[in-house]
Amino acid sequence: MLKIENLSASISGKKIIDNINITLNAGECLLITGQNGSGKSTLLHTIMGRPDIEAEGKIRLNDIMLSNLPCHARSREGVFMFHQTPPEITGVNTMTLLNEINKVNDNKYTRGNLISQANDLFLHLGLPTDWSKRQFNVGASGGERKKNELAQIELFDGKLLLLDEPDSGLEQTSRRYIFELIDRTCGRGGIVLLVSHDKDIQSKYSNILELKNGSSLR
């Protein structure tokens, strides 16, 4: 269960999120809507624990009080942030980073199995054949970066997915893959918060939080 109580958030003294309350059970997906600047992305980043955001209120995932933890500790508890513009990391290749993520996930894979599974996923998503050897997202297009995020989610089974416009910049096949990934995550008891402006995506979900000026309209 995800339970968010009286969550407010400010950046550089400016309040962006105001008194948000959310309760989601295992297997549920919440669609977050609202105009640009309404606070959708900031809400996800606040849940993730971005260090420059000053937050008040409680965020609990199952029996873990996330609001007491820094960003990296929330990640270790199974929270995954799918960035609207995924970052690049110079000097670190993709497989090296995946191997480090694997270590903090109790070595879910042997190294050989991780390499095999990751390369199969990269191929399935249409990424270049040498993707695992490239520096993480360096020189990558927006679509390639988002496919890289999808691969990480698929490999490590997050408990709480925070998806910030995952569909933008992707072709139709990869957009369908997002729906399938959400369904698989919810099917195994995970929880998904999804931000999207796409009308087709919005039509698929009935559990909706609409934001205006950082506050909930419904």
The span from the CA of 84 to the CA of 62, in Å, is 26
User: pLDDT per residue over 36-55, tens digit each?
Assistant: 889 999 999 999 999 999 99
User: pLDDT per residue over 96-115, tens digit each?
Assistant: 999 999 998 888 899 999 99
Q: Which helix (DSSP H) or strand (DSSP E) does residue 173 occupy?
A: helix 172-187
CB atoms within 10 A of CB 158: 22
The span from the CA of 36 to the CA of 14, in Å, is 17
Identify the pLDDT of residue 173.
Answer: 83
User: pLDDT per residue over 67-76, tens digit each?
Assistant: 999 999 999 9
Distance spanning both ends of the chain, measured CA to CA: 20
For tokens 């990640």, the residue is 75
Region 112-140: mean pLDDT is 94
Q: Which two three-digit tokens encode residue 64?
A: 């873990």
Domain count, the chain: 1
Q: Which two three-digit tokens encode residue 180?
A: 């399938």
Identify the pLDDT of residue 218.
Answer: 56
DSSP 6-19: EEEEEETTEEEEEE
The span from the CA of 207 to the CA of 218, in Å, is 10
Mean pLDDT score of the chain, rounded to an integer? 92
For tokens 């988002």, the residue is 146
For tokens 């600047």, the residue is 37
For tokens 């260090």, the residue is 51
- Model confidence, pTM: 0.92
Nearest to residue 148, comparing CAs of 112, 174, 110?
Answer: 174
The residue range of the domain holding 57 is: 2-216
Identify the pLDDT of residue 216.
Answer: 80
Q: What is the CATH number of the domain that holds 131?
A: 3.40.50.300
pLDDT confidence tier of residue 65, bands split at 50, 70 and 90: very high
Share of the chain above pLDDT 90, in %: 78
